[in-house]
Chain A
């Protein structure tokens, strides 16, 4: 039974990480307001939402299977308070931190229309913090972290997210940024 739980925890952890990376990448893509070939803005939004909801489900599975696994020695309190665990408390604590951030992002996302745009946006932006913490958690305490394929997947993910983040910061990231820039210049002195 413990073995089954352990393998569910491993697998769901890895899938969560991939889904999280996917959510972040599609999110950055959608934020630009651009359509990408077959990916309309609407499709991007749907993908962003579906990936993130799936990610929440797999993280739940990850956490629950670890609770059920007696070898993992995880207590309920470890889900909500980081760095208290018996097994690699720091790396497990990073998992708790990113879990809490994820819950906050998911809830404010669902309640977006009832919260102010500021609250929603402020919390949503912590996704940029949550992703590297989750990646570090995986590298630090993941059972497969030492394997070559895990490292390759991680390096590719980091590369993609970095590239997207850099693109996000460039002047032409937003659709219509050229016409908006021109308009903002106003009259010629």
Chain B
């Protein structure tokens, strides 16, 4: 889309913070001083155009183009005449992710701005801001600072699947915070049957900035394929950091910047517990999931990175994660309820250096068996993580199968 022929070299952490530009614990006045007021309703049609031109994709993990999501809700509203529902999702079920909590604590007004704008453009009848229990006091304060009374705060559970879209809907409808069988789109049939826009809180904050500063400004960070910036949560040997980085950033450049020496790093789990491992650090972290088109790119999902340093056995870590994921199953769908614990047990056998020659074949078969057979993508993503571990750590795997470990002696 851009006409410039100069390749963008923006890498690593943003030079100037965007989402957190108003500083820590930004109050309403600090927020206004930094960003100014939200654009007036007269500019609504330009705002929609700018959102579309920005190429912003969802920051909750799905990476779906946000403007298309909004357009789908608008179409559904025009077709059915039903008033839509807006849900800001900050429930962040992923245990290694902190960025939504961080954003809601330090830049709540940007998220609320994003809600105000999408609400205004869609004409939503109900607005919900869904968070993990515990993140409320700062939000209540922010809402009273700006006299916001139309947003309903909703605390959902903190378990792994609670942030999944249909689980959020179910929780809002008074049901359990578990995924549902939902063969239709939320934009057509969401909360209480209304056309529903469910977006991650970081996505809303970006929408608020694009509405003020234009798509061109947004695209001045990141790459052509992955424009703008994103928050990432980095977990390294028990230490957590959250940073705002360029879209499509190179992983090793980012790590060097953060003074995590790449020579100590054996591998990185990109995309959190629903992500994939990589030992090649010279890759870009992107929204795309199309590995065929962008071979040196990994989908960063909801922006979670876990560093695996030398000296820890990656197969043991993979086994721990798959066990956690198996236990996190909602236990609603048979293949997930029975398949994931079986997968976890076989992976544990690998981690414990079992020499059973059928083990890898059995794991491969199990990963295929559980995929595509559930109400949500939990079994698919768990299977992908497990097979990513076996492929990326093939040397470790061969050593384990002969009773050795390359990382522990």
Contacts and interface: CB of A to CB of B under 8 A. Distances in A.
Give the interface centre of B337, B338, B348 by most chain A CB atoms within 10 Å. B338
Interface stretch (B49-57, B142-150, B339-347): B339-347
Contacts of A3: none
A152 to B, nearest CB: 43
B241 interface: no
Contacts of B338: 179-180, 183-184
B112 interface: no
A188 interface: yes
B327 interface: yes
Contacts of B345: 185-188
Contacts of A188: 345, 348
B323 A186 contact: yes
B326 interface: yes
Contact of A183 (B319, B327, B341): B341
Taking residues whose C-beta sits less than 8 angstroms from the other chain, chain A's interface range is under 10
Contacts of B319: 187
A187 B339 contact: no
Contacts of B337: 183-184
Nearest to B338: A183
A188 B342 CA distance: 11
A184 B345 CA distance: 10
Interface in A149-183: 179-180, 182-183
A186 B326 CA distance: 8
For B319, B327, B339, B342, the residue with the greatest tally of chain A CB atoms inside 10 Å of its CB is B342
A150 B123 CA distance: 72
Contacts of A179: 338
Contacts of A180: 338
Contacts of A186: 323, 326-327, 341, 344-345
B341 A184 contact: yes
A184 B327 CA distance: 10
Contacts of B348: 187-188
Interface residues of B, number: 12
B140 to A, nearest CB: 36
Nearest to A182: B342
Nearest to A185: B341
Interface in B315-336: 319, 323, 326-327
Interface string B339-372: 1011011001000000000000000000000000
Nearest to A186: B341
Contact of B323 (A183, A184, A187): A187
A73 to B, nearest CB: 51
Nearest to A184: B341
A188 B350 CA distance: 12
A186 B342 CA distance: 6
A177 to B, nearest CB: 11
Nearest to B351: A187
Contacts of B344: 186-187
A175 to B, nearest CB: 12
A4 B323 CA distance: 70
Nearest to A183: B338
A11 to B, nearest CB: 46
A184 B342 CA distance: 8
B377 to A, nearest CB: 20
A111 B370 CA distance: 32
A185 B327 CA distance: 11
A185 B341 CA distance: 7
Contacts of B327: 186
A35 B276 CA distance: 42
A183 B335 CA distance: 10
Nearest to A179: B338
Contact of B339 (A182, A183, A185): A183
A44 to B, nearest CB: 20
A187 B342 CA distance: 8
Contacts of B341: 183-187
Contacts of B342: 182-183
A183 B343 CA distance: 9
Nearest to A180: B338
A180 B336 CA distance: 12
A179 B348 CA distance: 18
A186 B343 CA distance: 8
A185 B340 CA distance: 11
B343 to A, nearest CB: 10
Most central of A179, A182, A186 by chain B CB within 10 Å: A186
A179 B337 CA distance: 12
A159 B372 CA distance: 45
Contacts of A184: 337-338, 341
Nearest to B341: A186
A186 B344 CA distance: 7
Nearest to B334: A180
Contacts of B326: 186-187
17 contacts: A179-B338, A180-B338, A183-B337, A183-B338, A183-B339, A183-B341, A184-B338, A185-B341, A186-B344, A186-B345, A187-B319, A187-B323, A187-B326, A187-B341, A187-B344, A187-B345, A187-B348
Given A186-B345, A187-B326, 11 more contacts: A179-B338, A182-B342, A183-B341, A183-B342, A184-B338, A184-B341, A185-B341, A187-B323, A187-B341, A187-B348, A188-B348
A-B pairs, 9 with minimum CB distance:
A186-B341, A183-B338, A187-B348, A183-B342, A187-B323, A187-B345, A187-B344, A183-B341, A180-B338
